[in-house]
Amino acid sequence: NTTPLAGRPSDGLTPGLGLYSDPIINLDHGDPTIFKPYWMRSRDQLVVSGSELMSYFSRGGHPCWFMEPDFEKSVKRLHGLVGNAVSEGRYLVVGTGSSQLYLASLYALCSPDQPHPVSVVCAAPYYSSYAEATTFLKSSLFKWEGDANAFDKDGPYIELVTSPNNPDGTTRNPVVDRGGNLIHDLAYYWPHYTPITYCADHDIMLFTLSKCTGHAGTRIGWAIVKNEQVAGRMVKYLELSSIGVSKESQLRAARILGAVCNEIEAPPGPNLKFFDFAKLLLSERWGKLRQAVKRSGLFTVSEFPLAYCLFFREYTGSHPGFVWMTCKDKNLDCSGLLREQRILTRDGRRFGSDASCSRVSMMSKDEEFDVFLERLAKVKPPEKSNA
Ligand code: PMP
């Protein structure tokens, strides 16, 4: 990617290549700015004085000694109210985003004494950052082995189960099934994206504030872990890599999650509560997108079954944070076609798939989403050459 925007998160209608009247729309990243209108309603402020939160420590004697008690309380309260994951009686580990906790989980599940690196796999299409994060330090503890469906090596392995999946929004289960360790990345297992059909209780479950409430910039994630030793090794990783996690961020997250919880518990008022608001917004976008895709005739996008959502107490659909667009003509380059209309998306090859697919963020600002739909209508297949 050689555009001036490469590697930079979308910051709205960012002018690209100097053409201010026809800006590039960057839907490559999953920057969840979609929820900002909801949070603009909130007047709650976190004020931290110069003398507060100065210590590295939050509390002695706790396995995760840098975790703020209010943060832990809010996370457990929210899981209890939403019913998406068991958190009582489990170890909670806070991280700088769930990205840090992903690496902490790998570290925790591998032993320095093992003769060979442990294989790390995930069924394709998989979240592109797994491959990148697993390989960038060339660790001798673990090795990225790609698509879990094609994995046939002997020896220990770790399988990532992302459900709902990034990029394609599908609900997933492990595929290898040979007794390896599992990491469940449940970043999108919240009722605005997908029906809550069961209370998850896996060995390691990763969540992130980024995708739950949209506060990606706060850089807070959490892991719910069953095994004490595994949780302890994850804490060790955080100690070694960053000596804990920003306390300001933890307190901000605690306040935000606490506000969502208060609303859930309150009787209905004049304004939509967070998950209702977010679900409505996403489902409206999905409706518009499906119409645009149908009109264009060039692409297909996934269909999702309705399921009974234990949180909303009704049948609901899925409205993933990304759309996995696939060209009907498998010879076409999906990202390339969209790039011609100045829409940046992430090439299917980055997810272990092929160039006929591309991941497009559904979580951008309204203005960007509207421009995306307008431009989608203009996408044309390449002219066939007679030469
Ligand atoms: N897991 C999945 C499936 C994601 O989509 C993301 C963000 N795109 C992350 C983890 C990382 O989230 P963060 O580091 O912002 O917490």
| Per-residue pLDDT tens digits of the chain, which is 387 residues long | 333 333 444 433 444 444 456 799 999 999 999 999 999 988 888 899 999 999 999 998 999 999 999 999 999 999 999 999 999 999 999 999 999 999 999 999 999 999 999 999 999 999 999 999 999 999 999 999 999 999 999 999 999 999 999 999 999 999 999 999 999 999 999 999 999 999 999 999 999 999 999 999 999 999 999 999 999 999 999 999 999 999 999 999 999 999 999 999 999 999 999 999 999 999 999 999 999 999 999 999 999 999 999 999 999 999 999 999 999 999 999 999 999 999 999 999 999 999 999 999 999 999 999 999 999 999 988 876 555
Count CA atoms closer than 13 A to 323's CA, side-chain side. 28
Residue where one domain finishes, among candidates 197, 230, 265 = 265
Residues in the chain: 387
CA 222 / ligand 1 centre spacing (Å): 11
Same-domain check for residues 254 and 295:
no
All residues at 6 or more sequence positions from 50 whose CB lies less than 8 Å from its CB, including other chains: none
For ligand 1, whether the C-beta of 32 sits within 6 Å is: no
Give the β-pairing of 181-185 and 204-208: parallel
CA 387 / ligand 1 centre spacing (Å): 46
DSSP bridge partners of 208: 221
Same-domain check for residues 336 and 222:
no
CA 208 / ligand 1 centre spacing (Å): 7
Cα dihedral 220, 225, 228, 232, rounded to 10, equals -30
Measured CA to CA, the distance from residue 197 to residue 199 in angstroms comes to 7
- Give the number of other CB atoms < 10 A from CB of residue 345: 25
For ligand 1, whether the C-beta of 165 sits within 6 Å is: no
Same-domain check for residues 371 and 232:
no
Interaxial angle between packed helices 366-376 and 274-296, expressed in degrees from 0 to 180 and rounded to the nearest 10: 20
Q: What is the CATH number of the domain that holds 185?
A: 3.40.640.10
Same-domain check for residues 135 and 231:
yes
Same-domain check for residues 147 and 281:
no
The total number of structural domains in the chain stands at 2
Name the residue range of residue 246's domain.
69-265
Measured CA to CA, the distance from residue 159 to residue 135 in angstroms comes to 15
Q: What is the CATH number of the domain that holds 340?
A: 3.90.1150.10
- Give the number of other CB atoms < 10 A from CB of residue 172: 18
Checking ipTM against 0.90, whether it exceeds it is: yes
Interaxial angle between packed helices 274-296 and 247-265, expressed in degrees from 0 to 180 and rounded to the nearest 10: 90
CA 99 / ligand 1 centre spacing (Å): 6
Same-domain check for residues 221 and 340:
no
Same-domain check for residues 77 and 166:
yes
Same-domain check for residues 230 and 129:
yes
For ligand 1, whether the C-beta of 162 sits within 6 Å is: yes
Residue where one domain finishes, among candidates 241, 265, 289 = 265
Site to substitute for ligand 1 among 127, 184, 204, 250, most atoms within 8 A of C-beta: 127
pTM, two decimal places? 0.93
In a domain, 9, yes or no: no
Same-domain check for residues 87 and 221:
yes
**In the numeric block, which tokens belong to residue 59?**
């509390």
Q: What backbone torsions phi and psi does residue 314 show, to the nearest 5 degrees?
A: -160, 170
Same-domain check for residues 132 and 225:
yes
**In the numeric block, which tokens belong to residue 346?**
């992430």
Residue where one domain finishes, among candidates 250, 265, 280 = 265
Supply the residue whose CA is at minimum distance from atom 2 of ligand 1. Answer: 187
Atom of ligand 1 nearest to the CA of 210: 15
Q: Single out the residue of 307, 337, 316 nearest to residue 325, CA to CA.
A: 337
Same-domain check for residues 209 and 314:
no
